[in-house]
């Protein structure tokens, strides 16, 4: 009888321990950290992974830009500079018009385009619209052979910077209209390079985020390009007052 009694006692002891373990703690439970702290903790734990992800993303984007702005030497060799430039423009979802024609060649919403432009290999490009495309300093080399280029729009191009503007001198004998508005990479130093475009008649420098004194910049541009109509909108402070102060300073120096 002793063995069954011992077994019964052990079963009762285990049952009691289980009841105690399941009983809720008398002390108040610890509140979980707020969401932003949990996010910071997660980011701290994954910092190196996130850094690697950003590095990989940046590398992938730079590779894509290099590929999209590569020199179209093969097309140039077989079809000539006009078709090569046209193909480059359409590959970046830009648009253009041949000299002496009214029709514009552009891509549709899916990036498709008509290949009829190949039939005009002897016609130079007169107007080019690269607004909101990924054109950069390297890709501009695909357009350098267009010495009849009269109008160039680079509105909202994030890769257009001071180095890009310094290369526009190749169009100094033909370019009459230039739109570089809403380009975040352009500074005052880059605008100085436009002094080579003596034939420029219209220039849009609106909403350049890195221009801190637009009024003085306009005066500088007017001095460099006296025959050019300059458009500069999208700036918060008074351009008229700033221009007047700038002219007074320049007259005082004279």
Q: 180 and 109, same structural domain?
A: no
pLDDT tens for 200-249 read: 999 999 999 999 899 899 999 999 999 999 999 988 755 555 555 555 55
pLDDT tens for 10-50 read: 554 554 444 444 445 545 566 677 776 777 667 666 665 65
DSSP codes of every residue in the chain: -HHHHHHHHHHHHHHHHHHHHHSPPSSPPPPPPPHHHHHHHHHHHTHHHHHHHHHHHHHHHHHHHHHHT---HHHHHHH-HHHHHHHHHHHTT-EEEETT--PEEE--TTS---GGGGGGTTS-EEEEE-TTS---TTGGGGGTT-TT--EEE-TT-TT-BHHHHHTGGGGTTT--EEE-TT-TB--HHHHGGGGG-TT--EEE-TT-TT-S-HHHHHHHHHHH-TT-EEE----SS-HHHHHHHHHHHHHHH-
In this predicted structure, what is the pLDDT of residue 53?
A: 55
pLDDT tens for 149-161 read: 999 999 999 999 9
- Total domain count, the chain: 2
Task: Please say which residue of 88, 116, 149 terminates a domain.
Answer: 149
Q: 179 and 144, same structural domain?
A: no
Q: 202 and 140, same structural domain?
A: no
Domain span holding position 86: 59-149
Q: CATH number, domain at 118? A: 3.80.10.10
Q: Which of 36-40, 162-166, 188-192 has the lowest mean pLDDT?
A: 36-40
């Amino acid at each position: 009888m002793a063995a069954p009694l011992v077994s019964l006692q052990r079963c009762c002891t285990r049952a009691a321990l289980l009841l105690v373990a399941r009983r809720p703690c008398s002390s108040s439970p610890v509140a979980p950290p707020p969401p932003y702290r949990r996010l910071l903790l997660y980011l701290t734990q994954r910092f190196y992974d996130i850094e690697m992800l950003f590095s990989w993303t940046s590398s992938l984007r730079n590779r894509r830009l290099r590929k999209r702005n590569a020199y179209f030497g093969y097309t140039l060799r077989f079809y000539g500079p006009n078709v090569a430039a046209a193909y480059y423009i359409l590959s970046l979802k830009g648009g253009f018009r041949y000299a002496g024609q009214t029709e514009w060649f552009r891509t549709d919403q899916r990036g498709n385009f008509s290949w009829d432009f190949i039939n005009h290999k002897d016609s130079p490009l007169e107007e080019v619209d690269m607004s909101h495309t990924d054109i950069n300093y390297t890709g501009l080399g695909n357009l350098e052979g267009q010495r009849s280029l009269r109008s160039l729009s680079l509105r909202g191009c994030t890769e257009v910077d001071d180095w890009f503007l310094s290369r526009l001198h190749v169009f100094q004998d033909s370019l009459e209209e230039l739109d570089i508005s809403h380009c975040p990479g352009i500074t005052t130093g880059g605008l100085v390079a436009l002094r080579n475009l003596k034939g420029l008649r219209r220039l849009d420098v609106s909403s350049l985020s890195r221009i801190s004194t637009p009024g003085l910049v306009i005066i500088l541009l007017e001095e460099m390009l006296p025959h050019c109509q300059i458009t500069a909108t999208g700036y918060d402070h008074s351009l008229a007052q700033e221009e007047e102060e700038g002219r007074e300073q320049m007259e005082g120096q004279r």
